[in-house]
Each structure stands twice: as structure tokens, then as C-alpha cells.
Structure 1
Amino acid sequence: MPLSAGTKQRLTPYVNFDRASWGALRLATPLPLTEQELDELRGLNVEISLEEVKVIYLPLSRLLNLYVGATQNLYRATNLFLGKQSEKVPYIIGIAGSVAVGKSTTARLVRALLARWPNHPKVDLVTTDGFLYPNAVLEERGLLSRKGFPESYDVRRLLQFLAAVKSGVDKVEAPVYSHLAYDILSDEVQVINQPDILIVEGLNVLQTYSGERRAQLFVSDFFDFSIYVDAPEHHIRQWYVDRFEALRQTAFQSPTSYFHRYANLTPPEANEVALRIWNSINAVNLIKNIAPTKYRADLILDKGANHAVQQVRLRKL
């Protein structure tokens, strides 16, 4: 019997929460951050208040704490069954979303909150920027203007990194990216040494298609939980433009900045350049590659104006 239109509309793999209903799931979870600590976690031009942390991010940290605890119990049960102590395996959380949507702030905030829980105090954060090909390689392949697109990442190296971490290997090295130099730092690495939780943040971490061929192994195969930070495109575009102007007045002023050539633009000129970059590069990547991965996430944070989350969607088990 075919489904009615009303039934089709109700079918969804997610449970939807508005701010009030989601915030109520915090229960008695205490707020462990001060205003000063929150200020250090905020990204450039990302407005977030302690009230937003209470309503949105504390319930999220409580949920993740429960999920991590259940996984740790499963780990102990497996050891009991095998009669031996196997290598410690970190719980891996993936965080995806557009440029300028605030996913880096979300990742830092989730990391800070999860590290306050006593059963998983060691929480590391890796961004996939470090797994971009160096500029020299991108230039050689004609991809420098497509930095951030799926083909600009060394996916094989990222998969090898995640496989080592998920296998319990200690001291796994990740490359480091400099936004000032706009390139990989050849003389610097980030060492991940068996954390309780590893957060992996990046544009395309939920991708399943590279544009050339369908792979057999995906980055998201290593995730225990995934989050997609979403917002209407017109909000993200404005956040990008605002951030570009803020960078023009700060980081771009440094002679060592890759974007120093933009430092002396007037505000109207900066606005024009930012919109051109957004429309020709970031919007294309968002629409073609990033947004289509949204419904692969376990949880979606839907933002409105001023980076305030208006709705939370949690995948049904």
C-alpha cells in the first residue's frame, strides 16, 4: 500500500529538537567554562555566548559522554571475552561543514567540554587542513584555486593516519597547516598519542566520492560519531565576508601572510574581493561537495543568524 503524503513527510531518520527541548536534555550537567575560557575558544567573528553553550553544547557533551561511556564498556566486555588487554582505541568524532560556518569553534568547544568529563579526560583535535597537498603539489596539478575541494587533499595519508589511530598505535604524526603561510609546515607535526577521544574537523570528512572514482574506504568509516554544522547559504556567505574584513585588519597586515596583498584594500574593495572568492570557490565547493554530505551525519546543528543554533537533529538508532 503506498504511503500517504502526510506519512512521507513524517518519515525521517532524525529526531528534531528546537532550542528549548534540546536544552532541557542538559539536565544537571554543570557549565565548566568561564567567559574568558569561552573567549579563547571562539573563532574570528563567531558569536557564541555562555547561554548558547548551556542550551546547545552542554546537552551535546552529555550525549557524547554517554556514547563514549557505552563504547568504553563494550571495550571492557571485549577484553573480558578475549581474556586479554588489547590496545586502547580512541573514540573518534568527525565534524564537517562549510568554510566560515563555525565548525572549528564547534570542534574546539566540544573538545573543551568533553575533556571536563572524568571518564575521558584526554581529548585531541586534528583538522584535515594538515592533509591538504602542499601548495607546490597543488600548483603542479593546477589545483591551487581549488584548495578545499576533495581532490586537493592527500586522502590516502589521512586514511593511513586514522587507521593507525584507530588501531591503537601510539605517537601517530599528523601534518600541520599554517593559515598565515597558506601552506603545510614541512618542519612541524602534531603528535597524537592514544587519546580517549579524537575529534577530526574538516570540510569534506563525510565525503564518499572523490570526483574520479568511488573508493572502498572512507574517512568517515573511522568515525564513531559525526556532526554537521549547517546554516542557510546567505548567512554563511555574510560570515565569510565579515571574517575576510576582520582578517584584512589583522592577520593580512603581516608581511609574512600569504594574503598580505589584501591588507590595504578599502572596506568596499575587501567586500567585493571576498564575495568574488566566495561565489567562485567556496559556494561551489559547498553546493557541490560539502552540503550533499549533511545527511550522513549522526547529528546536525542548524544555525540561524549570529551563529545561534535553532534546531538540532539527532539520527535515530
Structure 2
Amino acid sequence: MMDQLAPSRFSPYRIFPAAEWAKFRADAPLTLTADEVRRLRSIGDPVDLDEVARIYLAVSRLLYAHVEASQLLFGQRQSFLAEDSGQKTPFIIGIAGSVAVGKSTTARVLKELLARWPSSPKVDLITTDGFLYPNAVLQAEGLMQRKGFPESYDIGAILRFLSEIKAGVPRVEAPVYSHFYYDVVPGQKVTIDRPDILIFEGLNVLQVRDMPADGTAVPFVSDFFDHSIYIDADEADIKRWYIERFMRLRETAFRETGSFFHRYSQISPEEALTIAQGLWSNINEINLHANILPTRPRADLILRKGPDHLIEQVALRKL
């Protein structure tokens, strides 16, 4: 089987080393400060202002070109159909990848960069965590050990949310997830009101499923995306980042009494390390191989990280 990410004239991607990709920043201004980047990055993610300038400015420039082209096409189609609703259609960007690979940092950095383009677009960010079934439901269905797998999400709710966003419905609500409590927060919602751009981030957002033999239309989450990004890295590096993050959280957030994982702060480092390794092997590694990594070839843009957690290669799908 051909490796689609190996440089080849048959690959659907153009492959760029990070140094070459950095040139595509062109004259895009650096609108973030070092302090802002520190606040945007997740624990254990070393992204800094240099990485933003080297990688993310060119990504935001590319995305904004797609946004403008999409808006132009939308206007031309309205003209073709002799319609003039005055309604805009939000541009939706999907971001996928393994746990601990840095999806959240990428999403937050891109949100801020896109919002600071000269036209000041309204940019919102939603993660799929809020669409997980509550722990009570997962426990009743025997799915707590498969949290983060496709079956642990309310896919119908995700599809309804994205459909309403794409249709320009005002004030669309999404559920809120607490990593502190490791559960959906009952009754708490976040309202998304007709953004120009929506970033939708999650483990399995690029996943498809079997199609019905009778040709019945089956929507996928990615059907609503105008552009998709996959954050990639060597599995050994992802495992190491996951375990390092777990051990650091054990010394910080897990120490708070109300934390779902508080019990892990009360055991020895050796016991905690064994638990972290087990969580990776029994849950996250399986999910990566069965559900997440197979979606990588569906992405429009693949950001490949090196062992230092920084982008070393960019793969851009050919037009």
C-alpha cells in the first residue's frame, strides 16, 4: 500500500519541511504576544512565539484564503439561484488527532490568529468533549472504558449542532464539558451566534462509517467541514507526551479535592506511572489505531510533530 505522506508524484499531498513552510507566512503580521501564546498552550506543549511565526501564521493565511474563496463561491451560487437571503454561511474547520498530541493548543492559537485578520472575523471554538454522553449514561451502557471512542459521543447532537451552525441559525447551544469533573456539566451550555468561522476540535471528527446498501443518505460530522486539519506525530512520542502530562497533572490539577482524578495524587509516583501506562495501552492506544489514525488521509492539512512537540513537516492536500 502506498504511503500517502511519502513524497511522491502519486501522493495527494504536497509535503513541506517546516523551514520551507515558514516562507508561506509572506507578510502576515505576528499579532500574538509571547504571554498570549503561553496562556493558549496546553500543559506540556512547548509552542512559543517562534513556532507561531514558523508554522501557524502560514496556516492562518492559508485558511483565510479558503474562507474568502468560500464566501465568494457562496455569493456566486446565490446569484446563480437568483436568491438574496443576505445570510452568510459559516466556514467550519475541523481539527482531529490523538489525545495529548496538541489539538487544543492548535485550535486556540488558530482561533486567535484568524480573529485578528484585518476584516476582524467572528471566530468561535467548540470541542467535541461536551457532546460525550454523561458519565451516568456511559456507566449504564458499560462504556466508561471506551470514553473518547465514537460510540461514547451523542453523534445525533453533534450533527444537529453543526447543521444549525451551517444554516446560519442564531444562538445555537452546545453542551459544556469539565475536565476537572471528567463529565458533562448538567444544564450548562455555551451559545454560538452566527460566527464567520467555527473551529470544531475532537478526536474522531474525521471519522466515517459504513454506508447503507440502499443508498440512504448518512451524514458524517466532516460533511459540514470546509477545511480539516490532522495533528500527527509518531506513536511513541504521543504515548510519552500522554504519560508526562498525566504525571504533571498529578502534581497540579489532580491535587484539588473535587477533581475526578484526585485519587491519583494520593498514590506513589511508581503506582501513578503504572496507571498512566495502562490507560494508554488499554484505552488511548486502541482508540488511536481503530478510530483516529485511519482518518488521517481524509484531512486537507496534516501537521506532523517531531519528538520535541514542534511541527517538523506539513502536508497540504493538492487541489
TM-score range, shorter chain: over 0.9
CA drift of 1:91 comes to: 0.2
8 Å Cα contact 1:151-1:210 kept in structure 2:
no
Cα distance 1:257–1:199, how it changes in 2: closer, same or farther (>3 A)?
same
Counterparts of 1:215 and 1:268, CA distance in 2: 51
Mark the CA change 1:211 to 1:140 in structure 2 (over 3 Å): closer, same or farther.
farther
TM-score by length of 2: 0.94
| Shift, 1:72, TM fit | 1.5
Aligned to 1:29: 28
Which residue, out of 291, 299, 302, partners 1:300? 302
Q: Residue 246 of structure 1 corresponds to which residue in structure 2? A: 248
Aligned partner of 1:196 in structure 2 is 196
- 1:109-258 pair list within 5 angstroms: 109-209=109-209, 216-258=218-260
Measure the CA separation in 2 of the matches of 1:75 and 1:238.
44
Count how many residue pairs are aligned between Structure 1 and Structure 2: 311
Describe the shift of the 1:116–1:260 C-alpha distance in structure 2 as closer, same or farther (beyond 3 A): same
Q: Give the letter aligned to residue 12 of structure 2.
A: P
Output the amino acid matched with 2:127: T
What stretches of structure 1 move > 6 A for 4+ residues in a row? 210-215
Residue 53 of structure 1 aligns with which residue?
Answer: 52
Please say which of residues 107-116 and 76-85 is displaced more in the overlay.
76-85
User: C-alpha separation between the residues in 1 aligned to 2:9 and 2:157?
Assistant: 41
- C-alpha displacement at 1:103, in angstroms? 0.5
Q: Which residue matches 1:15?
A: 14
* Distance 1:166-1:29 versus aligned 2 partners, 3 A rule: same
- CA deviations 1:37-85 (Å, max 9, x no partner) are 0011010111112111111100000000111011112223334442423
Contact 1:95 1:201 in 2 (8 A): yes
For structure 2, which runs of at least 5 residues remain unmatched after alignment?
Answer: 1-5
Distance, in Å, in 1 between the alignment partners of 2:153 and 2:46 is 29
Displacement of 1:209 in angstroms is: 2.1
Q: Which moved more, 1:246-255 or 1:226-235?
A: 246-255
CA distance in 1 between partners of 2:211 and 2:255 (Å):
37
1:64 aligns with 2:63: yes
* Structure 2 CA distance for aligned equivalents of residues 32 and 312 of structure 1: 22
Question: Who is 1:3 aligned against?
Answer: none
Secondary structure in structure 2 of the residue aligned to 1:186: strand
Letter in 2 for 1:160: R
In the other structure, the counterpart of 1:4 is: none
Taking the aligned partners of 1:304 and 1:215, their CA distance within structure 2 comes to 40
Report % sequence identity. 54
The farther-off stretch of 68-77 and 138-147 is 68-77
Work out the CA distance in 2 between the residues paired with 1:226 and 1:56.
16
Q: State whether residues 253 and 259 of structure 2, in contact with CA within 8 Å, keep that contact through their aligned partners in structure 1.
A: yes
Once the two structures are TM-superposed, the CA of residue 186 in structure 1 deviates from its matched residue by 1.1
1:133-177 Cα deviation digits (max 9, x unpaired): 011111111001100000000001100000000011000000000
TM-score by length of 1: 0.94
- The letter of the residue matching 1:77 is Q
After superposition, the Cα gap between the structure-2 partners of 1:83 and 1:10, relative to the gap in structure 1 and judged at 3 Å, is closer
Once residues 244 and 95 of structure 1 are traced to their aligned partners in structure 2, the CA distance between those partners, rounded to angstroms, is 22
- After TM superposition, the structure 1 stretch with the greater mean CA deviation from structure 2, 114-123 or 98-107, is 114-123
Residue 310 of structure 1 corresponds to which residue in structure 2? 312
Secondary structure of the residue aligned to 1:305 is: coil
Q: Is the 8 A contact 2:7 2:15 kept in 1?
A: no
Q: Which residue matches 2:3?
A: none
1:9 offset after TM fit, Å? 4.9
Residue range with higher mean Cα deviation, 200-209 or 69-78: 69-78
8 Å contact from structure 2 (residues 171, 191) kept in 1: yes
Alignment correspondent of 1:103: 103
Q: Which residue of 1 aligns with 2:85?
A: 85
Q: CA 1:210–1:46 in structure 2 vs 1: closer, same or farther (change >3 Å)? A: farther
CA–CA distance in structure 1, aligned partners of residues 120 and 162 of structure 2: 19
Q: Distance in 2 between matches of 1:210 and 1:280?
A: 25
Task: Work out the CA distance in 1 between the residues paired with 2:277 and 2:188.
Answer: 33
Check conservation: 2:211, 2:218, Cα contact below 8 A: no
Paired letter, 1:230? D
